[in-house]
Amino acid sequence: MKGLQWTFAVVGLILGIMLAYQFRITSEINKTEPVQRTQLLAFQLNQLKKDRDFLQEQVNSLRSDFDRISAGPQDIELKERLDSARIPAGVTELSGSGVEVTLNDSNISLKPGENPDLYVLHDEDVLHVLNELRAAGTEAIAINGQRILASTEVRCTGPTIVLNKDKRLAPPYVISAIGDPDTLEGAIKMKGGVAETLQFWGIQVGVKKMLQVTVPAYSGGIKFEYAQAAG
């Protein structure tokens, strides 16, 4: 009996030594750089797969929101607001009934000693006409085919005017304005108004009501010198 017990003890000891040796060998292999790098890459790969799945869910969600907004009434409202903003921004061509105002220098022969500046158009004369048209409710204005914006400056440079930074125009000035023809004409021709004042000096002022006036889109660039996006 004791011999059998010793046999079992010896076998158990040998098996223990073999298992311990195998465990040590396995641990040493796992600690080697190639194995550690493989394990790290496998971990990173699994993490990237999780990130990809998360981002894909976000893409699907955003696409769903986009499709819903595009098909819904919000899209129509946004388009209407955008179209309304295009008019004062001057980025689209407009047509409609209105007036055509023609301004030209005086054709009166000057008498000796008279100041010739009194008989030619100046930037302030053009501005007076533009302001009267705006006050009368015009929706869009152009001078000699150049769209006038709220930010457009009109200034004299000798016998010509410059507007929209670098557009030099010479008389006659043809102002196209879209709006109610009767109201616009009345604003220019009213007694004591801008037309009567200019005609006193012989400045030629013509106002013609039009069933169809076309005002082109603004062709210049828009640069903000002081305004910045809020953030």
pLDDT digits (tens, 9 = 90+) for 61-78: 766 766 666 666 656 666
Residue 119 lies in a domain: yes
Q: Percentages helix, strand, coil for the chain, rounded to the nearest 5? A: 50, 20, 30
Instruction: Print the domain residue range for 60.
Output: 2-68
pLDDT band at 27 (very low <50, low <70, confident <90, very high): low
- CA 162, 167, 173, 177 torsion: positive or negative? negative
User: How high is the pLDDT of residue 2?
Assistant: 44
- CA 61, 80, 175, 100 torsion: positive or negative? positive
Same domain, 58 and 105: no
User: How high is the pLDDT of residue 156?
Assistant: 74
Same domain, 34 and 109: no
Q: How far apart are CA 15 and CA 160, in angstroms?
A: 110
Q: How far apart are CA 140 and CA 108, in angstroms?
A: 33
User: How high is the pLDDT of residue 101?
Assistant: 96
**Residue 171 confidence (pLDDT) above 50:** yes
**Residue 137 confidence (pLDDT) above 50:** yes
Residue 89 lies in a domain: no
Q: Which residues contact 110 (CB under 8 A, 6 or more apart)?
A: 116, 119
Residue 194 lies in a domain: yes
Residue 222 lies in a domain: no
Residue 78 lies in a domain: no
Q: How far apart are CA 117 and CA 193, in angstroms?
A: 20
Name the DSSP class of 225.
S
Residue 29 lies in a domain: yes
Same domain, 164 and 108: yes
Q: What is the DSSP string of 62-131?
A: HHHHHHHHHHSHHHHHHHHHHHHHHHHHT-S-EEEEEEEEEEE---PPPPTT--GGGGS--HHHHHHHHH
Highest mean pLDDT among 23-32, 87-96, 141-150, 179-188: 179-188
Q: In this structure, what token pair is assigned to residue 145?
A: 């085919």
Q: How far apart are CA 93 and CA 215, in angstroms?
A: 6
Same domain, 51 and 159: no
Residue 229 lies in a domain: no
Do the beta carbons of residue 213 and residue 95 sit within 8 Å? yes
With both helix axes pointing from N to C terminus, report the angle between 181-189 and 123-135 in degrees, rounded to the nearest 10. Answer: 140
| Integer angstrom CA distances of residue 197 from 123, 128, 190, 223 | 15, 10, 10, 36
**Residue 8 confidence (pLDDT) above 70:** no
Q: How far apart are CA 230 and CA 210, in angstroms?
A: 43
Residue 84 lies in a domain: no
